[in-house]
Amino acid sequence: MTQSETLFEQAQKYIPGGVNSPVRAFRGVGGTPLFFKHADGAYLYDEDDRRYIDYIGSWGPMILGHGNQIIKDALHAQVDQGIGYGAPTAIETEMAKKVCELVPSIDLVRMVNSGTEATMSTVRLARGYTGRDKIVKFEGCYHGHVDSLLVKAGSGALTLGVPNSPGIPASLAEHTLTLAFNDIESVRETFAKMGDEIAAIIVEPVAGNMNCIPPVPGFLEALREVCDEHGTVLIFDEVMTGFRVALGGAQEFYGVTPDLTALGKVIGGGLPVGAFGGKREIMEHISPLGPVYQAGTLSGNPLAMCAGLATLNAISEPGFHDRLTEKTNAVRDGLKEAADSTGVPLAVQSAGAMFGFFFADAPKITRFDQVVACDAERFKKFFQGMLKEGVYLAPSAFEASFTSAALTDDDIRQTTEAARRVMKTL
Ligand code: PLP
């Protein structure tokens, strides 16, 4: 029995399913989840002392790689100063200023502790601001485990086959209208019928919770247009894409400006952080300025702010995202070459420093129904094969993968060679 197997057995005695977040349980790929004890640069080390090239990066935050010295130094210094005060600190303002500089659509920003809190707060704020109840989301997009947003959701909900979670009152879910991602016509039709009742559209500008699906040209622009026509708040959930697809997020990459933005992952440098912000006029409705209530015991915690700010400063170095995008493209193209050379039909796609691959005979995947029609068995075999080769990919066909600045050309070459060996066995 491996150490991971032993630890998983013990964990299941005390933790539901042995994990604190469902996708970690490997139900989408079978087998036992790996337990890790150490991480450094682009690598994870499991409890059995095996090394893996990491393409998950703690599900996104580790854009600099693991154990980055700048983040560690910032954290050590802050630990000696104080772990938390539940009162204002200078670093919170520094962080807020940095976020407003990097994401120009954000005039005011509030820190929270997770991406879920960030999206939840944007929806409440949009409802409070417009006085409307209905919201539009897109099938296969995941915005955290918020009641109103766990309707036809992606990520673990999709991996485990529960995109509509029990426990959410029908009377709440009925206010969530779910449309097809990348389907401009259905958005226009819905808004023509009931646009004036819709508080917000919330969208992952690159869908990363049903693998990796960039927006088709015109999709985000159409969302902006209908929101402007109907006084609806456009929310970009940039928890995954923020600071990753480009320094200013997907909104910079695609040149479409939302009213509100939800942030997470990279913004915390590996600590539990989220944030939401946007137009001053809307943000002024948040308490204590306005009546829409939102609060948090640990919000703006100095350790979390330190790690996040150190990360944002490091990724603001000129050329950072160009270099990271080049690496991502090399991984993406390496997977495609491996598939082509072994005759395995594979579609690959990416946006900035996130990428995805689909076992499907199609040049491009743009829709949710195409994603669910992909060869799930092949994905599982490929995932397990790559794991044996020491490459740690997301354990679900419905998750995007991520690169980090610590990834070397040699890591990418090893990944491509491993993929070629594994593809031959599929
Ligand atoms: N929004 C998106 C796009 C996400 O990918 C996630 C998490 O993966 C969330 C929101 C929820 O963030 P958290 O898991 O930090 O609550």
pLDDT in tens, the chain (426 residues): 999 999 999 999 999 999 999 999 999 899 999 999 999 999 999 999 999 999 999 999 999 999 999 999 999 999 999 999 999 999 999 999 999 999 999 999 999 999 999 999 999 999 999 999 999 999 999 999 998 898 887 777 777 666 678 888 888 889 999 999 999 999 999 999 999 999 999 999 999 999 999 999 999 999 999 999 999 999 999 999 999 999 999 999 999 999 999 999 999 999 999 999 999 999 999 999 999 999 999 999 999 999 999 999 999 999 999 999 999 999 999 999 999 999 999 999 999 999 999 999 999 999 999 999 999 999 999 999 999 999 999 999 999 999 999 999 999 999 999 999 999 999
Please state, as a whole number, how many other Cβ atoms lie within 10 Å of the Cβ of residue 388. Answer: 11
User: How many Å lie between the centroid of ligand 1 and the Cα of residue 2?
Assistant: 31
- Three-state secondary-structure class, residue 94: helix
Domain covering 69-315, topology: Aspartate Aminotransferase; domain 2 (3.40.640)
Q: Are 249 and 216 in contact (CB under 8 A)?
A: no
**Is the overall model pTM greater than 0.80, yes or no?**
yes
Residue ranges matching CATH 3.90.1150.10 in the chain: 3-67+318-424
Nearest alpha carbon, ligand 1 atom 1: 143
Torsional sign, CA 95, 267, 306, 156: positive
Q: Which is it for strands 347-351 and 274-278: parallel, antiparallel or unpaired?
A: unpaired
Kindly state if the Cβ of 240 falls inside 6 Å of ligand 1: yes
Indicate the helix (H) or strand (E) that contains 11: helix 3-14
User: How many Å lie between the centroid of ligand 1 and the Cα of residue 337?
Assistant: 31
Residue ranges matching CATH 3.40.640.10 in the chain: 69-315
Alpha helices in 47-114 (DSSP H): 69-81, 90-102
| Atom number, ligand 1, closest to the C-alpha of residue 117 | 16
Give the tokens for residue 271.
């600590």
Active site (catalytic) residues? 142, 237, 265
Q: Cis peptide leading into 288, omega within 30 of 0? A: yes
CA 323 to chain centre: 20
Task: Report yes or no for ipTM above 0.85.
Answer: yes
Nearest alpha carbon, ligand 1 atom 10: 143
- Three-state secondary-structure class, residue 280: helix
**Residue of 117, 142, 147 to test ligand 1 pocket, by largest number of atoms within 8 Å of CB:** 142
Q: Which CATH architecture has domain 3-67+318-424?
A: Alpha-Beta Complex (3.90)
Nearest alpha carbon, ligand 1 atom 11: 144
Alpha helices in 41-180 (DSSP H): 69-81, 90-102, 115-130, 156-159, 170-173
Kindly state if the Cβ of 237 falls inside 6 Å of ligand 1: yes
